[in-house]
């Protein structure tokens, strides 16, 4: 029997809101790339960040900042940082040709220690 698609009886379907919001989160990359071969670790970390952002913000259009990309690749392809602190900003898409009304910009936030850091709603600038 094939699996069902969509939300069935008693299941909640996640709504994509039109609200512009900014969140600051810590992503544990280590658990997402555990068991991945050395030459695929940094590319898989980028995909994991993309997947995390899509789940948190509900937008399929994810844009990763160059500073975050450089930080993930900073120790090479195989020694990716275990955790990374990011700012997820859901913004309106100004491009008329785009199918999606909103996109998420993922930027790097320098962090000395990850102890006690929680997800925060940040006032957008």
SS3 21: coil
Instruction: Return d(Cα 121, Cα 55) in angstroms, integer.
Output: 16
Q: How many Cα atoms are found within 13 Å in the side-chain-facing hemisphere of 110?
A: 2
Q: What is the mean pLDDT of each run of 10 residues along the chain (125 residues)?
A: 67 70 96 97 98 95 97 98 97 88 96 94 76
Q: For the whole model, what pTM was predicted?
A: 0.84
CATH class of the 22-122 domain in this structure: alpha beta
**91-100 pLDDT, tens digit each:** 999 888 889 9
Helix boundaries (H) for the chain: 29-32, 41-57, 66-73
The domain spans of the chain are 22-122
**65-100 pLDDT, tens digit each:** 999 999 999 999 999 999 999 999 999 998 888 899
């Amino acid at each position: 029997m094939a699996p069902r698609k969509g939300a069935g009886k008693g299941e909640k379907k996640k709504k994509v809101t039109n609200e512009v919001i900014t969140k600051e989160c810590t992503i544990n990359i280590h658990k997402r790339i555990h068991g991945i071969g050395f030459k695929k670790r940094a590319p898989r970390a980028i995909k994991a960040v993309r997947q995390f952002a899509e789940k948190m913000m509900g937008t399929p259009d994810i844009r990763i900042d160059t500073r975050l990309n450089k930080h993930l690749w900073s120790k090479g392809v195989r020694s990716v940082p275990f955790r990374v602190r990011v700012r997820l900003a859901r913004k309106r898409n100004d491009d008329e040709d785009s199918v999606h009304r909103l996109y998420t910009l993922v930027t790097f936030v320098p962090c000395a220690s990850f102890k006690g850091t929680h997800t925060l709603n940040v006032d957008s600038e």
